[in-house]
Amino acid sequence: MNRITFAALGLYLSLTLGGIRPAISQDAARGSIIEDRAARKLLEAGDARLEADEASKAVEIWQSVLERYPSSRVRFEAHIRLGNHFLERERAYDKARVQFEEVASEENRDQDQRAEATLRMGVCFYEARNFGKCFSVMRDVIEHFPVSRQVNQAYYYIGLGHFQLGHYSRAIDALEKVGTSMGENDSQLEKVEAGKRLFVKIEDADLAALEPGTPVIVQCETSGGDVEQVKCFPVGRNVRIVLGSIVTTLGVPQKNSGLLEVKGDDTVKVVYIDQHTADKSFNRQVLHQATIVGDGVVSITDGAFAETLQGVVLGKAINIQTNDPDRDMTDAADQIEVTVEVHRAKTDEEIEQESIAILAADGDADLDENGQPKIERYKKIDEINVVLSEVVVETIRPVDKVAPAGDSVASPADGASAVPADNTAAATDAVAGAATDSPADAANDTVHSGVFRAAVSLVRAEEVVAGDAVLQALPGDLVRVTYRDERNSGEGLLIVKGEARCIEGNLGGVRVTRTEISDRELRVGTRLKTAHALTNIATRYKEFGLKRNADAKYQSALVLCEDIMTEARQLGGRLLEETYVQLWKIYFEMDRLELAAAMAQRLQQEFPNSGFVDDALLQLADVAVSQGNLNRAIGLYNRLVNMKTSQLRGEAQFGVAECYERMAEASPEAGAQQLYDRAFQEFKKVFDQFPDSGRVGEAVARMANYYYRQKDYARAIDTFETVLANHPDAKFLDVILFNYGRCLYRMDRRADARRRFDQLIGDYPESALAEDARKISEALARAGT
């Protein structure tokens, strides 16, 4: 079975030959229907508060969902919202993870929610730089939700984590898997959004026979007459999957131009010739067809139609612009219609009377978070229908280039599919805007932009004149433009709106002359965020070896933190705590370890209940190790191990074991064995007491090294195989493979030993052991192994 997939900006279209979509099972109801509906209303009320930039109030409302409706299945959505808020806004990774853990539990029967929550748990560990645990959780996503859209993102974060750790071969291996996993519902998409990049993915077992670098040619044809060839290349090391792309643009068809010119009512057909099918047929055409669509966007703009405005001036024109590529149906200027309304706030008396009427008529009315009937706060006072005409828009014609694979996903052999490009493909879509006008179009006097514009008069008036072409309004009224998008990338009718407030005066000539922030707490918080951003930028420079750039950014961040220290001390509380944390991180990154240790110590003393205390202890211990004070480091690590609520206990236990191993390596041979034995027992504690720790794989590997030193090669091999099978993200896998090969050689299994040395050379060519492995492998080959 073969499958073709193609997509545009996250819309992946696929055709499965001979497939039936499985029925979706219904969740068992846990709360009553009434409870679920009430919880849903409360959840939406929190969403509204968040949109109004009242984040703290939104959090309170979401938490009240959990308190009031603990058995409703809507509670899982509240947990997700809380988790996302703590993760993205407050950077409180432990608090966020607790919320996601609730959603990921087996009690929740929504598999997509569980997959997303598990992924977000891994993101929390990634952001906290606990990469070992991040790898473990992301592997759980891949193993337990293999057909979910989150699989590609899991590979993405695994790749980023290895990159942060400097494991570049493993980073490449993981990132190459992004876009090679397919969700179970991805084959249902049959629309291409005009102006976006179209991805084509083919899965065919026969592709394994292709020579490296040989492209697979796929033909894209439009009903408007354009024909383009798309070259598809292997995805990573998976030679059975090839991926290609082409930019779509509105315009007059020009064959073999490198761009797929379309118009609003076109269909796109993709043709692939399968030279040898599973049923022994030859040169069979595999087709897929999709419809061109576009998602409408409405905006109220300035006179140049360049910027979206939030206010319109009474006595002047309202400039309306709508982008909808699929309404470009002909070579002439097409037209669409929108509705423009003026809404005025209701008085308190009107709202009260309406509430009484609703409660009297319907005792089961929709209620807000305060238990009051939900009432539209504005009333419509004027309305007109406006015809917008398509205009020529001067833009840069997109230049096609091969886009990186997105989160398209692969399924079994000889199939094909794709999913939205959440991580890697999105950046390439910027080259193809919906409003594109080519030189050929201009020469033919055609209009292919998908951009529609018109202007409407707005006057100040108390009385509304019905039926005229002018809108009457007062200051404070709301102008609302509504467009009904019947053909879009989703299902059914899409209602698109744009709003602006009526004001008096003039919007032009506004300049910012003073940007000083008067509120002390806001000023300190703003500078802390700036310091945090500078530190992150510096860290990226440092990772790429740009030391001078990194030092400059670290110094800038340090100056900011030192400038606000006096004010932070006066304000105290959370801001002082965050200032200590930021300073400690900056000092540590700048290798000013004494100052980093002092700041971590101060944080621990002044904020003993801080969520950063365990991080501070761990870093204090790491500083002690770097200074050679191993006994002090062991004491600090043990204090962290005894903190029952810390998520870093496994990390600390591994640190204890590593300290004893360092002591053994530095000790005379007579006393070293006792220290090696102690280190072995401490590594074993990581495995026994902290099985969920991200350090388990490394601990088991160190145990295997112990067996090797003891010449217990059989047990060492068993342990090495456990690490390779169950901990693919463990550190020093190159060392493990090298010692594994040595053990096999000692047991006279020379062919197996050579295979392990060759695996090290192939998987970790940048390893310091690669050259030694190559010499050993060549020696074994000369010996006839």
The C-alpha atoms of residue 417 and residue 405 are separated, in whole angstroms, by: 13
The CA-atom distances, in angstroms, between 686 and each of 624, 658, 698, 704 are 21, 11, 10, 14
Cα 717 from chain centroid (whole Å):
39
For the cut 90, the answer to whether the pLDDT of residue 484 exceeds it is yes
pLDDT value, residue 184: 52
Task: Write out pLDDT tens, residues 559-613.
Answer: 988 888 888 888 888 888 888 888 888 888 888 877 877 887 788 788 877 777 7
pTM listed for this prediction: 0.51
CA pair distance 130, 522, nearest whole angstrom = 30
Residues near 402 by beta carbon (within 8 Å), at least 6 away in sequence: 231, 233, 244, 245
Contacts of 731 (CB under 8 A, 6+ apart): 165, 167, 697, 698, 701
Which of the two residues, 8 and 125, has the higher pLDDT score?
A: 125
pLDDT tens digits along 37-94: 888 888 888 888 887 778 888 899 999 989 888 888 889 999 999 999 998 888 788 8
Q: What pLDDT does 371 receive?
A: 58
Cα 331 to Cα 411: distance, rounded to the nearest angstrom:
41
Is the per-residue pLDDT at 278 higher than 50? no
**What is the pLDDT confidence band of residue 297, given thresholds at 50, 70 and 90?**
very high
Could you report the per-residue pLDDT of 335-344, keeping only the tens digit for each? Answer: 999 999 999 8
Q: Which of 431-440, 607-616, 714-723 is predicted with the least confidence, judged by mean pLDDT? A: 431-440
* Residue (of 428, 427, 433, 429) closest to 395 by Cα position: 433
Q: pLDDT averaged over the chain? A: 78
Contact 246, 228 (CB under 8 A): yes
Contact between 294 and 434 (Cβ < 8 Å)? yes
